[in-house]
């Protein structure tokens, strides 16, 4: 899409450079709005310079329908109820896009912002190709005309005049150009620009100029609507603009009896959307939406959902740098359209990174301010994040003993409510089997059992027992100077958002780790585990309520909410995705300034060396692959020393895998070595996630290390050998989060490491690596205790000097004393 925008933009620039403000492929339709509406509509098409009259006969029923629609317009609701939720905006058939002057005008207000305009045209074209009826209400004629007239004036001036004007410009004075003249000069150029852009997508557009009397005269208004309907019927994109060349100066507001006066393009767009029975009106401006106060003020907050009755809480600022309407004008126009059945979104069309604003709005993303009559009954994601921040601070303020009591109570609830948990999980399993859209490994992850819950409860008790020294633990003590001691203490990271797929047992594990570390937590589980997650979250809430800190852990309900939360870098401190590599990559791409801790893939290797114990090798390989094939720490590639090829050791390992119905793929070197072997692997970088793996031969430990570095994912890699020197070479050289000697890759787990549980396994190189337990959810702060010290005291010749002496920790001092 981006490449096409660039091609389109270059084409437009080429047209402008050559001064050819026409589009050879375009059919321009000029309609006479003053003609009385009769039983036929006069359409004059100009094709290649020839006027071709066309007549479309309209039945009396059509006429009566139109007449009935406008007998009460615009005093009554024309479109029924407006779409109440963002998720329904994708069903909008007719969409009006209003482009504010600030969106398509350059910062110098002289000429158009071609890059932004090209992106908008591309988005409109995409929606048009999907079957939406698209209308554009545009500004920009004055800016375009100003550019042309300045150029014309400069070309017609004498040298002396040009020099004089140049000196005047250097003095920050500017020759005034009458806006109506600029509009007259810019209309044709603006339309030619749209022609050129839309033609890149094979779309025809048509210009419709309107004036205020067109809305106050019943015949004109009916003709206007008939014109737009006919254009849409012919799959043409109407582009409407107030005819500023003949427009009178702005008048005071005259909104009476529900009629909104057409005094700017905001009110024009609202009238067209309501009277044209559009389901959605998108107003693009130079701000992100409606704020509680002017965006520059410290207390200002973006309102993502606007419903009737909250206008009194909004403080409006001034108008934009260009254009006739300010934000208050946009709100009034949006309210008026909403009352008549048109949903409205006001969003930013200027900010860098908002290039897909229109598509995001129609797809239901939380972009801009959405106007709806349905008052929000659920807690917004922003409120959830704020509650998690405050709840996390309250949790951190509890004593270590109190936090341990919460976790222990949660462990007890998992055993006491075992039957209810399994009943909720069975509902999820039944739905998954009925729908048939989950693979075998995903079903395994989804399933809970009595044994899993017992292990889960044991892990939580382990976390509780080890949680007493998590927070406010002194890591360093430094005597900076006499009377000044500096300490480095452990503290919570803040607010975590953990996103996991299928595995409902993740929820209490992650919740316990967050409680033990004093962090606020937002959880988003897969919809396939909705019943299980909901019930398990209720148990977490019950445990937290012992000390009144329920807000510390919240469950996010919708997938769309993830994208909204990933924008809240001021409220969320760390995102941890647990699931497929596709999920991790999606979160990494979507995160807006929030660090993401996780691994993109779990391509784990087991290398069987020539000096291995055959039975040990077969046991480790079998456990690494078959204990839980869907886990990220399961073996995906088996590397075998070349000397073992075609020996009983190699045959025994392969036969053991086949007995467990593991499908084997050959690496390229193994495929060459075996005349009649298994099929060759499509790639050496595949995470199979099931009873399937790749087998490859290597020439030795150096070759195995090189293979792992080339094709691995830095997760977990294993060597099986009785040669200690070879083992140490492997352990020291392999650059992965977990490297094992003579042990299954499945030991890469927080519970098995003694961490109690894990929020995930990180292959990152910053902060935490491997299974992430409580330690990975902590950061530090520095606490300095002084005695009225100032930096000036330590200047040259000052009374004080630095000592910078490292002091023993309290624990170290106690141990020394006991000895």
Encode pLDDT of 122-134 as tens digits: 999 999 999 999 9
Structure tokens, 600: 């993109």
Condensed to tens digits (0 to 9), the pLDDT of residues 472-523 reads 999 999 999 999 999 999 999 999 999 988 889 999 999 999 999 999 999 9
Region at 494 (left for phi over 0; alpha for psi -120 to 50; beta for the rest): left
Name the 3-class secondary structure at 655.
helix
**Residue 72 confidence (pLDDT):** 35
Mean pLDDT of 358-370: 90
Residue whose C-alpha is closest to residue 680's, from 690, 669, 691: 669
The C-alpha torsion from 215 through 217 and 218 to 224, rounded to 10°, is: -50
Strand order across the beta sheet in which 205-210 lies: 205-210, 237-242, 133-138, 94-99, 280-285, 343-348, 369-371, 305-306
**Residue 55 confidence (pLDDT):** 32
Work out the percent of the chain whose per-residue pLDDT is above 90: 49
Q: Among 48-52, 316-320, 343-347, 752-756, which stretch is predicted with the lowest mean pLDDT?
A: 48-52
**Its pTM surpasses 0.85:** no
Work out the percent of the chain whose per-residue pLDDT is above 70: 79
Name the 3-class secondary structure at 741.
strand
Instruction: Match 């650059």 to its residue by tokens.
Output: 735
Evaluate if residue 301 carries a pLDDT over 70: yes
Mean pLDDT of 420-430: 96
Condensed to tens digits (0 to 9), the pLDDT of residues 35-44 reads 333 333 333 3
Residue whose C-alpha is closest to residue 325's, from 272, 269, 273, 370: 269
Phi, psi of 664 (to 5 degrees): -110, 135
Evaluate if residue 675 carries a pLDDT over 90: no
**Residue 29 confidence (pLDDT):** 37
Written as one string, the DSSP assignment of 478-505 is EEEETTEEEEEEEEE--EEEEEE-S-TT
Q: Identify the DSSP state of 261.
A: P
**Residue 43 confidence (pLDDT):** 36
Q: Among 196-205, 315-324, 422-431, which stretch is predicted with the lowest mean pLDDT?
A: 315-324
Name the 3-class secondary structure at 785.
strand
Structure tokens, 666: 């050959």
Q: Per-residue b/e over 479-502, b at no fewer than 16 CB within 10 Å?
A: ebbeebbbbebbbbbbbbbbbbbb
What is d(CA 599, CA 109) in angstroms, rounded to the nearest whole number? 47
What is d(CA 651, CA 1) in angstroms, rounded to the nearest whole number? 52
Containing H/E element for 125?
A: helix 114-129
**Residue 302 confidence (pLDDT):** 83
**Residue 330 confidence (pLDDT):** 83
CA 217 to chain centre: 46
Mean pLDDT of 79-98: 89
**Contact of 500 with 506, CB cutoff 8 Å:** yes
**Contact of 761 with 737, CB cutoff 8 Å:** yes
**Residue 588 confidence (pLDDT):** 85
In the predicted model, what is the mean pLDDT of the chain?
A: 81
Evaluate if residue 60 carries a pLDDT over 70: no
What is d(CA 88, CA 78) in angstroms, rounded to the nearest whole number? 19
**Residue 162 confidence (pLDDT):** 57
**Contact of 286 with 350, CB cutoff 8 Å:** yes
Name the 3-class secondary structure at 430.
helix
What is d(CA 619, CA 653) in angstroms, rounded to the nearest whole number? 9
Residue whose C-alpha is closest to residue 145's, from 105, 189, 106: 189
**Residue 658 confidence (pLDDT):** 94
Name the 3-class secondary structure at 798.
coil
Mean pLDDT of 526-539: 94
Q: Among 247-251, 474-478, 529-533, which stretch is predicted with the lowest mean pLDDT?
A: 247-251
- Averaging pLDDT over each range in 116-120, 188-192, 322-326, 406-410, which range is the top one? 406-410
**Residue 35 confidence (pLDDT):** 33
Confidence band of 120 (pLDDT split at 50, 70, 90): very high
Condensed to tens digits (0 to 9), the pLDDT of residues 697-739 reads 999 999 999 999 999 999 999 999 999 999 999 999 999 999 9
Confidence band of 578 (pLDDT split at 50, 70, 90): confident
**Residue 760 confidence (pLDDT):** 81
Pairing of strands 553-555, 520-524: parallel
Neighbours of 692 (CB within 10 A): 17
Mean pLDDT of 513-542: 95
Structure tokens, 208: 């419709």
Name the 3-class secondary structure at 95.
strand
Query: Looking at per-residue confidence, does 562 or 359 come out higher?
Result: 359
Measured CA to CA in angstroms, residue 590 lies from 22, 584, 586, 710 at distances of: 40, 10, 6, 27
**Contact of 609 with 719, CB cutoff 8 Å:** yes
Name the 3-class secondary structure at 58.
coil
Q: Identify the DSSP state of 253.
A: -
Pairing of strands 716-720, 604-608: parallel
Confidence band of 811 (pLDDT split at 50, 70, 90): low
Evaluate if residue 585 carries a pLDDT over 90: no
Q: Identify the DSSP state of 674.
A: -
Q: Identify the DSSP state of 303.
A: E
Mean pLDDT of 68-75: 35
């Amino acid at each position: 899409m981006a490449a096409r925008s660039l091609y389109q933009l270059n084409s437009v620039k080429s047209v402008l450079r050559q001064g050819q403000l026409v589009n050879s492929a375009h059919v321009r339709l000029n309609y006479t709005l003053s003609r009385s509406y009769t039983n036929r509509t006069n359409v004059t098409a100009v094709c290649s310079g020839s006027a071709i009259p066309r007549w479309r006969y309209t039945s009396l029923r059509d006429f009566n329908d139109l007449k009935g629609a406008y007998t009460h317009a615009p005093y009554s609701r024309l479109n029924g109820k407006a779409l109440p939720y963002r998720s329904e905006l994708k069903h909008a058939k007719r969409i009006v896009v209003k482009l504010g002057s600030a969106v398509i005008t350059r910062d110098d207000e002289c000429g158009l912002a071609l890059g932004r305009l090209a992106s908008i045209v591309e988005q409109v074209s995409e929606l048009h190709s999907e079957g939406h009826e698209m209308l554009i209400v545009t500004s920009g004629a004055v800016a375009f005309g100003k550019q042309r007239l300045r150029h014309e004036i400069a070309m017609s001036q004498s040298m002396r005049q040009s020099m004089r004007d140049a000196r005047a410009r250097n003095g920050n004075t500017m020759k005034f150009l009458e806006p109506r003249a600029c509009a007259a000069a810019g209309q044709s150029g603006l339309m030619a620009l749209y022609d050129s852009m839309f033609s890149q997508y094979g779309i025809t557009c048509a210009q419709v100029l309107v004036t205020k009397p067109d809305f106050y005269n019943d015949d004109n208004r009916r003709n206007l609507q008939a014109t737009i309907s006919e254009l849409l019927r012919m799959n043409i994109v109407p582009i409407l603009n107030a005819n500023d060349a003949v427009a009178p100066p702005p008048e005071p507001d005259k909104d009476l009896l529900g009629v909104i006066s057409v005094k700017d393009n905001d009110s024009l767009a609202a009238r067209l959307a309501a009277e044209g029975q559009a389901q959605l009106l998108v107003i693009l401006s130079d701000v992100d939406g409606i704020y509680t106060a002017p965006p520059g003020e410290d207390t200002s907050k973006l309102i993502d959902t606007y419903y009737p009755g909250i206008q009194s809480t909004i403080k409006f600022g001034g108008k934009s740098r260009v254009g006739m309407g300010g934000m208050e004008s946009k709100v009034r126009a949006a309210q008026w359209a909403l009352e008549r059945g048109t949903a409205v979104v006001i969003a930013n069309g200027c900010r860098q990174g908002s290039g897909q604003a229109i598509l995001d709005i129609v797809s239901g993303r939380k972009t801009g301010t959405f106007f709806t009559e349905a008052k929000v009954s659920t807690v917004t994601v922003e409120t959830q994040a704020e509650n998690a921040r405050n709840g996390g601070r309250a949790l951190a303020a509890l004593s270590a003993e109190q936090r341990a009591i919460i976790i222990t109570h949660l462990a007890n609830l998992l055993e006491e409510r075992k039957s209810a948990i399994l009943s909720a999980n069975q509902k999820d399993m039944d739905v998954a089997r009925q729908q048939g859209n989950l693979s075998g490994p995903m079903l395994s992850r989804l399933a809970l059992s009595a044994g899993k819950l017992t292990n889960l409860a044991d892990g939580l008790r382990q976390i509780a027992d080890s949680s007493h020294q998590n927070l406010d633990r002194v890591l360093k003590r430094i005597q900076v100077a006499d009377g000044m001691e500096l300490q480095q203490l452990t503290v919570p990271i803040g607010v975590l958002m953990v996103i996991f797929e299928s595995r409902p047992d993740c929820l209490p594990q992650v919740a316990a780790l967050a409680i033990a570390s004093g962090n606020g937590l937002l959880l988003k589980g897969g919809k396939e585990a909705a019943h299980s997650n909901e019930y398990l979250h209720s148990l977490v809430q019950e445990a937290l309520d012992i000390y009144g800190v329920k807000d510390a852990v919240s469950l996010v309900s919708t997938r769309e909410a993830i994208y909204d939360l990933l924008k809240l870098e001021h409220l969320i401190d760390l995102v941890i995705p647990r699931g497929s590599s596709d999920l991790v990559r999606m979160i990494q791409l979507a995160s807006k300034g929030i660090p993401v801790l996780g691994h993109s893939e779990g391509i784990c290797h087991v290398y069987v060396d020539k000096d291995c114990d055959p039975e040990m090798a077969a046991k480790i390989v079998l456990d690494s692959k078959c204990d839980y094939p869907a886990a990220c720490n399961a073996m995906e590639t088996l590397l075998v020393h070349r000397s073992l090829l075609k020996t009983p050791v190699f045959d025994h390992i392969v036969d053991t895998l086949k007995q467990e119905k593991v499908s084997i793929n050959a690496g390229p070197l193994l495929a060459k070595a075996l005349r009649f072997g298994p099929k060759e692997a499509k790639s050496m970088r595949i995470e199979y996630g099931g009873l399937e793996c790749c087998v490859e031969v290597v020439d030795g430990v150096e070759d195995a290390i090189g293979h792992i570095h080339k094709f691995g994912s830095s997760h977990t890699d294993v060597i099986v050998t009785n040669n200690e020197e070879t083992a140490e070479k492997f352990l020291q050289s392999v650059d992965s989060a977990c490297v094992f000697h003579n042990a299954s890759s499945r030991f890469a787990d927080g519970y098995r490491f003694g961490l109690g549980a894990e929020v995930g396994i990180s292959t990152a190189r910053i902060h935490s690596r491997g299974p992430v337990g409580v330690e990975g959810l902590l950061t530090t702060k520095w606490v300095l205790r002084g005695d009225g010290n100032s930096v000036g005291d330590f200047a040259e010749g000052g009374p004080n000097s630095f000592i910078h002496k490292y002091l023993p920790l309290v624990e170290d001092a106690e141990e020394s004393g006991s000895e």
